[in-house]
Amino acid sequence: MATHEKKPSKKIGMALLYLVLGLIAVFQIYPLVWLFFFSLKGNSEIFGRSPFALPENWLFENYARVWVDGNISQYFFNSVLITATSVILTVILASFVTFAITRMKWKLSGTVLLLFMIGYMIPIHSTLVPLFQFYRELNLIDNPLSIILAYVAYNMPLTIMILMGFYRTLPREIEEAAVMDGCSIHRIFFQIILPMTKPVLSTTIIINMIYNWNEFVFVNTFISSDKYKTLTVGIQNFIGQYLTDWGAIGATLIISIIPILIAFIFLSNRIVEGIAAGSVKG
């Protein structure tokens, strides 16, 4: 009798859960839908009608105009190049450091970890002037390498923190068996440990990608030439002193969102696996 009474209440509970999740999904997706419709309008329609109304004239030419005339194609390529290079370097270097700290025994491992954690606490804005002077002495101002180095340096501490939780769950018996079979330290890392960390690597990749793709301060400070600007800075071209092309800005924002959405769709399952695996010890 009790089991029959629990079934309707369980169904009601599941229905309420799906209702809440559905509402959350609507609130999450609606801004993207609104931005897409916004990108298909002109200034007169944006300010002359309700901001929530559908476009009266669907201006798909906004996308063609920003891609060709607005130089967004160049900014997009720069963003992809800088983001991909920075993410790859950050993940590889952070994996080296994490492996050395968690899987190898040496006296200064704790000190090195402490230095990286101190770096995580330094605000970005407090380093802009010293970095600018440093890059100027090395002739790296207005050079994509300055942005890549800054991204790698600032993303290393967080990436190491995420990787450490996972590395500490890996059984040492695997490495001991590899050593007995004659594997070198390099083969152990590249052929055994690194492939085992794919779930958590996906988590660090998407986190680093989102930060690098959306970053503004470093690019705006160190880059002045249009040929090296990224999307976040290049969007300012559509903001004038007396007139701002809001439809073009909306189109640029949609273009800039697409790579992040694609990456998240393909890596979302891996992200959950990485977080779950890194949070459970043993």
Q: What percent of the chain has pLDDT over 90?
A: 31
Which residues make beta-bridge pairs with 11?
none
Query: Residue 58 domain-assigned?
Result: no
Residue 138 lies in a domain: yes
Output b/e per residue, 143-155; b: 16+ Cβ within 10 A: bbebbbbbbbbbb
Rounded to whole angstroms, how far apart are CA atoms 116 and 113?
5
If we measure between CA atoms, which residue out of 232, 226, 282, 228 comes closest to residue 257?
232
Q: Tell me the pLDDT of the chain (282 aa) as tens digits.
A: 444 555 677 788 888 888 898 999 888 889 889 999 999 988 888 887 777 888 888 888 889 888 888 888 899 999 999 999 999 999 999 999 999 998 888 888 889 889 988 888 888 888 899 999 999 999 999 999 999 999 999 999 999 998 988 888 888 888 888 888 888 888 888 888 888 888 888 889 988 998 999 999 999 999 988 889 998 888 877 776 546 788 888 888 899 888 888 887 777 666 666 555 555 444
224 SS3 class: coil
Asked, for residue 49, whether it belongs to a domain, the answer is: no
CATH number of residue 148's parent domain:
1.10.3720.10
Overall size of the chain counted in residues: 282
Angle, nearest 10°, between helix axes 109-120 and 144-167? 120
Which domain range does residue 26 map to?
A: 2-38
Calpha distance 174→242 (Å, rounded): 66
Overall pTM > 0.75: yes
The answer as to whether 60 is a domain residue is: no
**Count of structural domains within the chain:** 2
The 10s digit of each residue's pLDDT in 226-261 is 889 998 888 877 776 546 788 888 888 899 888 888
Tens of pLDDT along 35-58?
Answer: 999 999 888 888 877 778 888 888
Neighbours of 253 (CB within 10 A): 16
Q: Output the CA torsion sign for 98, 102, 104, 105.
A: positive
Q: Are residues 21 and 117 in the same domain?
A: no
Q: Tell whether 6 and 87 lie within a shared domain.
A: no
Residues 154, 83, single domain; the answer is: yes
Do 80 and 29 reside in the same domain of the chain? Answer: no
| 271, part of any domain | yes
Query: 181 in a domain, yes or no?
Result: yes
22, 152: one domain = no
